[in-house]
Amino acid sequence: MATLIDKPLEVCKDHYLLKIDIGISLSHPGQFANIKIGKNDPLLRRPFSIFDHKENIIEIIFKVVGKGTEILKNICKAGYLDVIAPLGQGFSITENKNTLLIGGGVGNAPLYYLAKQLKAKNNIVNYLYAARSKDYIFFEDKYRLISNTFYLATDDGSGGRKGTACDISGELAGGSGYDIVYTCGPAIMMAGIVRIFQNPDTRIEVSLENYFGCGIGLCSGCAVETNAGIKRACVDGPAFDGRVIDWGSLLQ
Ligand SMILES: Cc1cc2nc3c(=O)[nH]c(=O)nc-3n(C[C@H](O)[C@H](O)[C@H](O)COP(=O)(O)OP(=O)(O)OC[C@H]3O[C@@H](n4cnc5c(N)ncnc54)[C@H](O)[C@@H]3O)c2cc1C
Ligand code: FES
């Protein structure tokens, strides 16, 4: 049984933080929580990545995009919340490597928890935080603090450099020597990142945020084509080797 610790806290335009006691102290960066919002409408649970996890409390950042997230935003008090977590396969955690984390929009959420664990394992954490505009940047200070090098970019140039995640990645890719690149954001952005980092010595891990049905491997609603056949993003992922994904089919 999970308990919402406090009502949702607005962290930037249209984005809210939830703190939920799930009664479990272990999870892996890139795993997600499946939240039942409302009784019958929406019918399906909604998946959200774990932004942070301390003791039994997970934190989630969600962006309001539709019915479920609108209801979630309007929860006005702490109390019982129907949550299944942690679920799925998260990112791999390397040691003593030079890493680059690239987040687009709310896709930055799982990368904060990842950055913390990578730092604890003596990796160099280079972070590229990309957003539409400065209004959509949450917890910039936290990301700066956890990073050895921090790059900020917005599409309209209102915060940090002007440019998209792919624009800046193009510059960072040249002669970078990153051992591993982790990314989460819109599929089109992640497909672009995979194209940009072509050096086969640089591993690329992506976290997919395609549509989920059950979230526990039963419905195939999250099926994704890979070079090893069809995978279910909810149980085989959401974190995958970016080079195995058939991006063409995902972007259709
Ligand atoms: C593994 C995973 C982790 C995720 N982590 C986060 C997170 O940390 N924070 C966060 O804000 N969101 C996250 N998402 C996306 C989140 O699940 C959806 O935004 C949410 O389910 C929308 O619910 P809704 O009822 O508000 O929107 P709906 O009413 O269902 O849809 C509203 C609009 O949003 C679009 N939409 C809904 N879901 C998605 C999706 N998965 N991808 C693209 N467009 C979508 C619909 O096409 C529609 O236009 C994650 C998704 C997955 C699969
Ligand atoms: S969402 Fe049902 S199998 Fe993945």
Shortest-distance Cα residue to atom 2 of ligand 1: 209
The confidence score (pLDDT) of residue 42 equals: 93
Ligand index nearest the alpha carbon of residue 44: 1
Separation between Cα atoms, residue 74 and residue 245, nearest integer Å: 36
The confidence score (pLDDT) of residue 24 equals: 96
Q: How far is the CA of 27 from the centre of ligand 1 (A)?
A: 21
Question: In tens digits, what is the pLDDT along the chain, a chain of 252 residues?
Answer: 799 999 999 999 999 999 999 999 999 999 999 999 988 899 999 999 999 999 999 999 999 999 999 999 999 889 999 999 999 999 999 999 999 999 999 999 999 999 999 999 999 999 999 999 999 999 999 999 999 999 999 999 999 999 999 999 999 998 668 999 999 999 999 999 999 999 999 999 999 999 999 999 999 999 999 999 999 999 999 999 999 999 999 998
Which residues form the pocket of ligand 1, taking CB atoms under 6 Å from any ligand atom?
32, 42, 46-49, 61-63, 65-69, 106, 109, 209-212, 238
The confidence score (pLDDT) of residue 57 equals: 98
Domains and CATH numbers, the chain: 2-87 (2.40.30.10), 98-207 (3.40.50.80)
222 lines ligand 2 (CB under 6 A): yes
Least Cα distance to 210 among 180, 155, 166, 252 occurs for: 252
Consecutive H or E run containing 161:
strand 161-162
Ligand index nearest the alpha carbon of residue 207: 1
Ligand index nearest the alpha carbon of residue 230: 2
47 lines ligand 2 (CB under 6 A): no
**Arithmetic mean of pLDDT over the chain:** 96
Mutation choice for ligand 2 from 208, 234, 240, CB with most ligand atoms inside 8 A: 234
Mutation choice for ligand 2 from 219, 224, 231, CB with most ligand atoms inside 8 A: 219
Shortest-distance Cα residue to atom 4 of ligand 1: 48
210 lines ligand 2 (CB under 6 A): no
Ligand index nearest the alpha carbon of residue 29: 1
The confidence score (pLDDT) of residue 1 equals: 77
Strand partners, 73: none
pLDDT in tens, 168-211: 999 999 866 899 999 999 999 999 999 999 999 999 999 999 99
223 lines ligand 2 (CB under 6 A): no
Q: How far is the CA of 78 from the centre of ligand 1 (A)?
A: 23
Q: Buried b vs exposed e over 61-99: b needs ≥16 C-beta within 10 Å?
A: bbbbeeebbeebbebeeeeebebbbbbbbbbebbeebbb
Q: How far is the CA of 65 from the centre of ligand 1 (A)?
A: 7
**DSSP code string of 10-75:** EEETTEEEEEEE-S-----TT-EEEEE-SSSSS-S-EEEE--EEETTEEEEEEE--SHHHHHHHT-
